Amino acid sequence: MKKFPKSEPKISRRPLVIKGPRRILVLSDIHVPFHDSTAIKKAVSYGVENGATDVYLNGDLLDFYSLSSFAKDPRERDLHHELKTAASLIEYIRDEIKPGKIWFKVGNHEDRFERYIKTKAPELMGVKMFNLEDIFKAYNFGVEFVETWRAVKFGDIVGVHGHEVGRGSGGLHPARWLHLRTNRAAFCGHFHKTDTFISKDILGEKTTTHALGCLCDLEPEYLTKNNWNHGAGFLILDSRGRSEFINLRL
């Protein structure tokens, strides 16, 4: 009797669980090579001053402008430069904070890499060294890779980049947008805007959601008028899974 054919494997939807006690500096939307050095240094200094034990890179570390279908300036199409710059930035964060762990969550801009391979060189799909995780290992980034659609559970709060939970611009209050899509304590980046929303249920129990500011250029040529601001997060997680999230506007 022939074996029943297996279905194609799916991306894991199970959240990554990170346990405490930890003091985690959360950095989101750096968009190398369009990062803002001053903002990054301020965020890292806050982490150092407040005893950060770990660092969580919450997506869009790399812009991948060089692989974007929207890229206009051929002088900016330098993938090697983007990756080397990101490696140097991670080395700086590691040297300043000396974290026990650095996690890197894949954001929608890192998704450009796989999309580029699928459309431009589909024969390379599945070949070792032609996926983002293997490239990170080759560059010795020294980070733990968190897949694009995977949420991360830090005790009683969930972290996402933002693109995983629905399309849209987030509107005037991206933290409320996040609350409507997660219905639980959560934080995200993606919208480049510091925002916090607190909701009470019928019993008076609070749920708080946070949207983080970015650490990139606030006036990119494709969107010079915007409501972005620089920001970061600081997550204090105890051994019982209770968390305190500090949403920093820089």
Confidence class for position 72, pLDDT limits 50, 70, 90? low
- Strand partners of residue 232: 248
Least-confidence region, from 42-46, 129-133, 160-164, 196-200: 129-133
Alpha-carbon radius of gyration of the chain? 18
The C-alpha atoms of residue 140 and residue 16 are separated, in whole angstroms, by 22
State the pLDDT at residue 10: 59
Domains of the chain (ranges, CATH numbers): 16-249 (3.60.21.10)
Confidence class for position 8, pLDDT limits 50, 70, 90? low
Please count the other Cβ atoms lying within 10 Å of the Cβ belonging to residue 81: 13
Q: Are 160 and 188 in contact (CB under 8 A)?
A: yes
pTM over 0.85: yes
**Amino acid identity of 21?**
P
Question: pLDDT at residue 9 above 60?
Answer: no
Structure confidence by residue, pLDDT tens digits, 134-157:
777 766 777 899 998 899 999 999
- Torsion angle of the four alpha carbons 106, 110, 114, 120, in this order, in degrees rounded to the nearest 10: 180
Which of 45-54, 59-68, 123-132 has the highest average model confidence (pLDDT)?
45-54
State the pLDDT at residue 41: 98
Question: pLDDT at residue 180 above 70?
Answer: yes
